[in-house]
Amino acid sequence: MSGQQQDPLSFEVVRPGASAPDEHGRRRVHPLTPFIQGVRWWPAGIALALTSTVQFKVTVGAGALLVALAVLLAITLMGTGWNYLAWQRLTFWFDADGDLRVDSGVLSRQERRLQLSRLQSVDVLQPLLARVAGLAELRVEVAGAGDSKVALQFLTLAEANSLRNEIVARSAGVRHDAEEAPENLLAAVPAGDLFLSLLMHAETFVLLLVTGLLIFVTLVTEGTIGLLLLATGGVPLFSIFTQFSRYYEFTVAESPDGLRLRHGLLQKTRQTVPPGRVQAVGFVQPFLWRRKGWVRVRLNVAGASTSAQGSGDQSYTENVLLPVAPWPVALAIVSRVLPGVDIMSIPLVPAPERSRRRAWIQWRQLAVGWDDQVFITRCGRITERWDVVPHARTQSVRVTQGPWQRSLGLASMHVDSTPGAVRISGHHRDADEARRFSQEQADRAARARATDRSLRWVAQQQLSAAASAVSDPANYPPPPMPVIAPVLGPLVSPVEADPVEPAEAGERD
Amino acid sequence: MDDTRTVDDAFAPADAAWTRVSPLLARAYRISLAVGTLIGVLVALGLALLPDVPLWLPVSVLAVDAVVTAWASWLIGRRVRSWGYAERADDLLVTSGIIMRRLVIVPYGRMQLVDLVAGPVHRWLGITTVQLHTAAATTDARIPGLTPAIAADLRDRLARRGEQRSAGL
């Protein structure tokens, strides 16, 4: 970043790539960190303050306020003190092998080494308070079971960005003092579309309708059902707000070191997903989005917030590639993640008609398909889902059958991917067919593994440097021409395809 | 005990050489079932001893307990025989289940760890579970009821093949 300008607050932090801060070449995070982290103790502090005013039986006036403030101050000071110790003991550096090392811990020490050749994603986050202070958090995830994630809190934004560049460059095996790779904006989600799309989420919409109805009933009968209103109205409004603030000003940009996602209203997030790290891609289309031709694109990325044990109950964060976009834009961007895959032209094999007795609503939608690179499943009637996994990323293949399915001679096949929102399941197939398809999928996966080169992505950068730069980033850019044509493929049945008719799509350019 | 068709062809394709697990596993299942039944009886007993509890409550708890026990013990033999695995050239097949049936195909190149696990009851009986992990949490490939020697051999074979075919992510 721009030279060696001295940050007025950083008396010890040295810019990455510059000279070392201590004799071992180890660096520290920003000295303001303990104070910003100290604020996190406030919820606990406020709760304790409230209870202590009750404890001391001072419930009125200035006395109560004084006790509460004193308790809060004490808690904050103690918290900050602890965070200061943690700050003092946290050092990070690049070792001789070029891997990122992080030593931390006050009582129990932790020495972690992140093998950057297994890098999955690098995120730069700016929580509200850190953002005010001009600081940022850097999150690095590598592939691996258990806790394979490191969060460096906090660095100056410029430092976080240059460290991000350094990590990405090292993982790609290019010179680590390389300049930040140039990027090329692919899409930006307009705030209005985002808001509307969140409003039109099926569950949200129904709950809001119920709320409206309840308000009406309350007005008519003059009864009190305030608590119920809080549940039916408050929950969807809260979810709309959180999602809106998370995905606000969502942009997708392409650069040689991967896709860059930026978003956030209060907390700014900047994610980098190196190419070849995407384990699976899923499209989701809630019922009310269909007329608009909108779709949400989600990703599975290895190592992303997997619970340590990886057993049945897994927690993950939804990795969103695009919170909402018209089909052609979504497909154009997915084609950057899965180069050479034409999702729309993959023939689908529907589930047998007798599956209607097991899945009354969605049976017509149930289908699986494959080409030489990916396996794809479709399901869901009210909220439609298309899930895509590259053969080279297939982990294992399963066939399952419950008693009800058994009585109908049906079985479900699953292609296991790393934990995430995208699950690839072909539900309610003919049992023999499910078995056969699973076997074939296992064979395809084996062949794809043998030839897969996508992990060495620097060598095969076919990212067109000349790709059309987007002139108007405030709106969805027109997708590259070749991608629009197949939109009417077998995935989109005629009804849903209306908004993206080929004629209309052709006019776009 | 000569019900050979324990698993449909769809869940145990005949083109693979299936290995079944030790019948000792049935004993382990029976022990856990007995413990479950005992807990049910104790709950019923406790309810019966409490004042103010109508008699039908402990009686119905006992009845449910008895029905579940009878049903589960009827299933145990078939459940044990439903477990099976087959080692093929490039992948391992695991099949199991009577009510919920499943077949898992795990490529050797995708295995990240192979664990041997044995709880106290299993250890006492001398059987072990081989647990496979891939990068997917949903893989769920475990083979219970193996004697320790077979389990250790299987683990070593799997680990070796996994190393030969390792494919990263």
Is residue A266 pLDDT above 60, yes or no?
yes
How far apart, in whole angstroms, are the C-alpha atoms of residue B12 and residue B4? Answer: 12
> Measured between beta carbons, which residues in chain B are less than 8 angstroms from residue A396?
104-107, 110, 134, 136, 139, 141
- Lowest average pLDDT, out of A7-16, A166-175, B35-44, goes to A7-16
Which of A143, A403, A431 has the CB atom closest to B169's CB atom? Answer: A143
Distance from CA of A420 to the nearest CA of B (A): 9
**Of residues A393, A382, A389, A283, the one with CA closest to residue A332:** A283
The partner residue sitting opposite B112, judged by closest CB among A145, A432, A445, is: A145
Spell out which chain A residues touch chain B, with contact meaning CB-CB distance below 8 angstroms: 118, 143, 145, 277, 279, 302, 306-307, 310-312, 314, 392-403, 406, 411, 414, 416-419, 423, 431-432, 434-435, 438-439, 442, 445-446, 449, 452, 455
CA distances in angstroms from A490 to A266, A388, A424, A428, listed in the order given: 40, 15, 18, 20
Task: Provide the strand spans (E) within B11-61.
Answer: 19-20
Of A418, A434, A449, the CB nearest to B135: A418
- pLDDT of residue A312 exceeding 70, the answer is no
Q: What is the separation of C-alpha A496 from the centre of its chain, rounded to a whole number of angstroms?
A: 26
ipTM score for this prediction: 0.85
**In the numeric block, which tokens belong to residue B80?**
């044990």
**Cβ–Cβ below 8 Å for A302 and B169:** yes
Evaluated on CA atoms B6, B11, B15, B16, the torsion sign reads negative
Q: What is the pLDDT of residues A35-54, one digit of tens each?
A: 888 887 787 778 877 777 77
Mean pLDDT, rounded, for B103-114: 87
Taking an 8 Å cut-off on Cβ atoms, the answer to whether A435 and B110 are in contact is no
CA A372 and chain centroid, separation: 27
Q: Using the beta-carbon criterion (under 8 Å), do A438 and B105 form an inter-chain contact?
A: yes
Chain A residues with CB-CB distance to B103 below 8 A: 398-400, 435, 438
Of A277, A416, A449, the CB nearest to B167: A449
Residue among A395, A405, A414 with most chain B CBs within 10 A, to mutate = A395
What pLDDT, in 10s, does the model give residues A392-446?
888 899 999 999 999 999 999 999 988 888 899 999 999 999 999 999 999 999 8
A471: helix, coil or strand?
Answer: coil
Indicate yes or no: CB of B139 within 8 angstroms of CB of A396: yes
Please provide residue A223's backbone torsions phi and psi, each rounded to the nearest 5 degrees. Answer: -85, 180
Q: Which residue has the higher pLDDT, B13 or B104?
A: B104
Integer Cα distance of A91 and A24 in angstroms = 10
pLDDT in tens, A235-247: 788 888 888 998 9
- Could you report the per-residue pLDDT of A158-203, keeping only the tens digit for each? 888 888 888 888 887 765 555 666 788 888 999 999 999 988 887 7
Number of helices (H), then strands (E), in chain B: 4, 7
B10: chain A residues, CB-CB within 8 Å: 399, 401, 411, 431-432, 434-435
CA distance A436 to A459: 36
What pLDDT shows up at residue A227?
66
What predicted TM-score, i.e. pTM, was given to this entire model?
0.76
Is A181 within 8 Å of A274 (Cβ atoms)? no
What's A356's DSSP letter?
G
**Chain B residues whose beta carbon lies within 8 Å of the beta carbon of residue A419:** 136-138
Q: Using CA atoms, how far apart are residues A26 and A298, in angstroms rounded to an integer? A: 37
